[in-house]
Amino acid sequence: MKNVKFSIEKKLQSIRAGKLTTKYGEIKTPVFMPVGTLASVKAIFPKELEKLGVEIILSNTYHLMQRPGDELIREMGGIQNFMSWNKPVLTDSGGFQVWSLSKLKEISEEGIIFKSHLDGNTIFLSPERAIEIQDNLNSDISMVLDECTEYPVSFERAKKSMELSMRWAERCKNKFNSRKGFGLFGIVQGGMFNELRKYSADKLSEIGFDGYALGGLSVGESHEEMIKIINSTTKYLDENKPRYVMGIGRPVDIIRSVEQGIDMFDCVLPTRFGRNGRAFTLEGEINLRNARFSDDDSALDPNIECYASNSFSKSYIHHLTKNNEILSSMILSLHNIAFYKKMMSDIREGIVNNKFEEVKLKYLKNNEKFKKNKISRKEQ
């Protein structure tokens, strides 16, 4: 096996069910990757993720390079050994976090100089350094370093930024240690401009990567704008490589993106919502802080095979949430990840069995009303 291996098992027009194989395991797609920014999916033991059948998580270069440091993690045997997670890990390169968290930064051809949001120290991150860090982390899938732009952004600003990101992508490819079971993904940029997205996708294909991500989304655009960009961009990507939309996560966003041929997703929503008393259900998003749940003896979802989903009443979780008990965050975070895992499994099964439309209607029935919300990708 050279680098990572991807195969498509079933197609329904643009919709795909596939299999991605890396050093640490096999990933069935479409897949949702829980976010473990600091080598930890917040409030959830890695063993609980395994019980749910989670096959891959996402962690982050920007955060881990600062705390505890990529060299320490390398000495500890890599991120899998460090966090007791013997399964695949994808790491974001840190470009988005520099953009969203660092107030003072200087971007040049060489890379990015920025002030740490933790202690104010000056840090330099080049394309080569981003790859070196991810190599030290032992990431199954590394991402190229890219520059993120604000929303909305002018055509000229988006063009200049995208072209810089493409030059950085080539440098990342040259630095990457190509080896069995490990892959490098390119990131398509270009703002909301189809012409720039096409140029970016073509350039990345020319360089050659193991997979392709769509960046610069979930930064404030509407659901309709996001889907329009995904729809147009996937047409320019190699259909024999995995496609990944970074940072989107509401059920409606995922299902509409799967329709456009997207294979991989990540988002902080399941655990962030869990820490704030909110749960995803087939009836839509619910807020357990609401008084209407104070005497509700029903479980979150008895149909989900997860201890958190069917062992506690909404009344009890309401009580925990109102009193800011840590157990509330643990229950709701685990339930939300279980909900997403079941949704993705149902989507995949629907594709394989030619019943995707049924699954789509099932999950969008009460969740589609959120599609008009502005999309804003945030830290975990």
Model confidence pLDDT, tens digit, residues 195-236: 999 999 999 999 999 999 999 998 999 999 999 999 999 999
Mean model confidence pLDDT for the chain: 95
Asked about 266 being catalytic, the answer comes back as yes
Residues 56/62/67/68 CA torsion (nearest 10 deg) = 50
Category of 120 on φ-ψ map: left (φ > 0), alpha (ψ -120 to 50) or beta? left
Amino acid letter for position 58: L
Amino acid code (one letter) for 273: F
Q: Tell whether the model's pLDDT for residue 377 goes beyond 70.
A: no
Q: How is residue 342 written in tokens?
A: 């079941």
Question: Of 210, 263, 266, 301, which one is the catalytic site residue?
Answer: 266
- Find the mean pLDDT for residues 34-60: 98
Mean pLDDT of 25-36: 98
Placement of tokens 């440091």 in the chain: 69
The type of residue at 333 is: S
Task: List, in sequence order, every residue forming a beta bridge with 5; answer none if it has no partner.
Answer: 21
Is 70 exceeded by the pLDDT of residue 380?
A: no
Distance of alpha carbon 306 from alpha carbon 78, whole angstroms: 29
Q: DSSP string spanning 6-17?
A: EEEEEEETTEEE
% of residues, the chain, pLDDT over 90? 90
The helix, strand and coil proportions of the chain, stated in percent and rounded to the nearest 5, come to 40, 20, 35
- What stretch of H or E contains 355? none
pLDDT digits (tens, 9 = 90+) for 308-339: 999 999 999 999 999 999 999 999 999 999 99
In 110-217, at which residue ranges do the beta strands (DSSP E only) sit?
112-115, 122-125, 141-143, 183-188, 211-214
CA angle 57, 58, 60 (to 5 degrees): 150
Token pair, residue 11, equals 């197609």
| Distance (Å, whole) CA 126 – CA 107 | 10
Q: How confident is the model at residue 366 (pLDDT cuts 50, 70, 90)?
A: confident
Q: How confident is the model at residue 369 (pLDDT cuts 50, 70, 90)?
A: low
CA atoms within 13 A on the CB side of 19: 7
pTM of the shown model: 0.96
Give the per-residue pLDDT at 371. Answer: 52
Residue 106 has pLDDT above 50, yes or no: yes
- Domains plus CATH for the chain? 5-273 (3.20.20.105)
Q: What pLDDT shows up at residue 376?
A: 52
Q: Render pLDDT for 260-293 as a digit per residue (tens, 0 to 9).
A: 999 999 999 999 999 999 999 998 999 999 999 9
Structure confidence at residue 105 as a pLDDT band (50, 70, 90) = confident
Does 92 qualify as catalytic in the annotation?
yes
* pLDDT of 79 strictly over 80: yes
Phi, psi of 219 (to 5 degrees): -120, 15
Q: How far apart are the first and last CA of the chain?
A: 34
Two tokens, residue 343: 């949704």
pLDDT of residue 379 exceeding 50, the answer is no
Kindly report whether the peptide bond that precedes residue 68 is cis, defined as omega within 30 degrees of 0: yes
Phi, psi values for residue 134, rounded to 5°? -65, -30
pLDDT grade for 370, boundaries at 50, 70 and 90: low
Among the listed residues 70, 92, 135, 263, the single catalytic one is: 92
The order of strands in the sheet holding 105-107 is 105-107, 112-115, 122-125
Tell the burial category of 25 from Cβ atoms under 10 Å away from its Cβ (0-12, 13-18, 19+).
Answer: middle
Q: pLDDT above 70 covers what percent of the chain? A: 96
